[in-house]
Homo-oligomer: A and B are copies of this chain.
């Protein structure tokens, strides 16, 4: 029968495809800091609840204040996690990449505490709130990692506050650039506007600072049209004022 001859390879292909996807999901979850220390089997258990979802550039994954029905992990692409201010500005708290969670530390509250929007083509893993919470309570060793994550994030936000009070815009932009470059490499695909949002300033001010840095040879000339290239990371690092003081 013709149908049989046709169906057989298609089934194989589908099975292969499903296995591949499952492998990718597990791979991604294993890169989460939150799940380190867990066995592969544990992660496979969680992975079975995870759906792979694709977003195009500029799409909203979730918005501040909406019911937090899902827990997200970035599989591919860049996602900005931000909050809007009462005056319509935006502050980007983090740019999440592969293996980063979007809302792991949002433990309390039934609603998303921030918004998440894609900066390019993005694939995420999406896990139902219930499944995620059940997984957390089953694997109590995560609690320790969660506390560590929360604690370090809290410190980071406190530092951000101190910098907002103590440092001028130029310094904040430099720190944003440095932090982003350390995480994603020296070729950043961010618009000036996105960078400005990271530092809590305006596009124009960000551009003016970048121009100055370009004159100093720290930013490459090939910048522009949605990208920033850092050509002298060492010099950039020298410009960062450490507020740690004693080291």
- Which residues of A come within 8 Å of B, CB atoms? 65, 83-87, 89, 91, 93, 105-109, 113-114, 140, 143-144, 146-148, 150-155, 157-158, 160-167, 200, 241-243, 245-246
Contacts and interface: CB of A to CB of B under 8 A. Distances in A.
Contacts of A167: 85-87
B165 A161 contact: no
A114 B242 CA distance: 16
Nearest 5 Cβ contacts at the A-B interface: A85-B166, A150-B150, A157-B157, A86-B243, A165-B200
A67 B107 CA distance: 30
Contacts of A84: 162
Contacts of A157: 154, 157-158, 160-161
Q: How many copies does the complex hold?
A: 2
Nearest to A148: B108
Contacts of A146: 147
B85 A158 contact: no
A105 B154 contact: yes
Given A65-B246, A158-B157, A89 B147 contact: no
B143 A105 contact: no
29 contacts: A83-B158, A83-B162, A85-B162, A85-B166, A86-B166, A86-B245, A87-B166, A89-B165, A91-B161, A91-B165, A93-B161, A105-B151, A107-B148, A107-B151, A108-B148, A108-B151, A109-B155, A114-B158, A143-B144, A147-B147, A147-B150, A150-B154, A157-B160, A157-B161, A160-B161, A161-B161, A161-B200, A164-B164, A164-B200
